[in-house]
Amino acid sequence: MTWCEYPGYLLGSEVLQNYGCRMASGLWITFELVVLSVAFGFVLALGLAIARLYGPRWASVAIQGYTTFFRGTPLLCQLFLIYYGFGQFRLFWQDIGLWWFFREPFYCALFTFTINTAAYQAEILRGAIQSIPRGQFEGALALGLHRWATLRRVILPQAMILALRPLGNELIVMIKASAIASLVTLFDLMGATRLAFARSFDLSIYLYAALIYLVLTEIIRRVWDKIELRLTRHMALR
């Protein structure tokens, strides 16, 4: 008996014992998908937030349109447009050497989740930066700090603390939203669960999947609380 079959044995669930290893593999795919998309999305969102606040007018308008579109349309529609829509241009992607990317459901889901969460994170970071008093920016400039040095050393460290909790909520939302990746033939946790149900017709497998998502989000919440407590320990001493 392998380790992934052991939970099913303890719970007396035949379907969990038979498909536990496949669900464990799907859980790892879900973990990779969420972590990579949120990390890439954060890097993209940081650039978008700064460009919208301090960039030229045309960049601000373009970024506002980007965030409005991806925050205002369902993630499922975005995933279908990229996976099925971009797939119709196979010859074009082959000519520029990107067909290897758009033919794989994992990469399409990763790309979709990245640009989607980047839109939300960009608004979170923009709001956090704008909440810093303007006097701090002006004071740093008066001391001779360059504009970007001020942003990097004075504004962003404070803004990150303010954005920490909303970013944690966005991470939890992405964990739950990742379940739709199974609709493009990706065998993540929900995809493995759907496969197990299709073969066994045992509805309890969805309950086990829901419990796994619940445990995963609770772990993330507790870890995020520890990170927030660590980063704001100087504020608790006031």
**CATH number of the domain encompassing residue 117:** 1.10.3720.10
Record the tokens describing residue 94, joined without a space. Answer: 């082959």
Q: C-alpha 66: how far from its chain's center? A: 17
Among 25-39, 87-101, 142-156, 211-225, whose mean pLDDT is lowest?
A: 142-156
Looking at the predicted structure, is the pLDDT value of residue 216 above 60? yes
Euclidean distance between CA atoms 200 and 232, whole angstroms: 49
Q: What is the pLDDT of residues 149-179, one digit of tens each?
A: 888 888 888 888 889 899 999 999 999 999 9
Q: Which of 33-47, 132-146, 186-200 has the lowest mean pLDDT?
A: 132-146
- Give me the mean pLDDT over the 111-138 stretch: 91
**In the prediction, which pLDDT does 199 show?**
87
Q: Which residue has the tokens 């991806």?
A: 70
pLDDT at residue 2 greater than cutoff 80: no
Question: Packing angle between helix 204-231 and helix 189-200, nearest 10 degrees?
Answer: 170
When divided into structural domains, the chain yields a total of 1
Residue 237 confidence (pLDDT) above 50: no
What pLDDT does 190 receive?
92
Q: Does residue 42 register a pLDDT over 80? A: yes
* pLDDT for residue 9: 65
Report the interhelical angle of 14-54 vs 156-177 (nearest 10°): 140
Section 102-127 average pLDDT: 94
**Predicted pLDDT of residue 6:** 64
> Which structural domain, as residue segments, surrounds residue 211?
3-236
- pTM of the predicted model, to two decimals? 0.89
User: By C-alpha distance, which of 100, 118, 117 is closest to 108?
Assistant: 100
Average pLDDT over residues 27-54: 94
User: Which pLDDT value is given to residue 138?
Assistant: 78
3-state secondary structure the chain: CCHHHHHHHHHCCHHHHHHHHHHHHHHHHHHHHHHHHHHHHHHHHHHHHHHHHHCCHHHHHHHHHHHHHHHHCCHHHHHHHHHHHHHHHHHHHHHCCCHHHHCCHHHHHHHHHHHHHHHHHHHHHHHHHHCCCHHHHHHHHHCCCCHHHHHHHHHHHHHHHHHHHHHHHHHHHHHHHHHHHHHHCCCCHHHHHHHHHHHHCCCHHHHHHHHHHHHHHHHHHHHHHHHHHHHCHHHHCC
pLDDT digits (tens, 9 = 90+) for 183-214: 998 888 999 999 888 888 888 889 999 999 99
**Which range (7-16, 45-54, 206-215) has the least confidence?**
7-16
What is the structure's pLDDT at 169? 92
Beta-carbon count within 10 A of 209 CB = 22
pLDDT band at 3 (very low <50, low <70, confident <90, very high): low
Can you give the pLDDT at residue 28? Answer: 93
Give residue for tokens 């993330």: 220
Confidence band (pLDDT; 50, 70, 90) for 15?
confident
Measured between alpha carbons, how far is 9 from 237 in angstroms, rounded to an integer?
Answer: 49
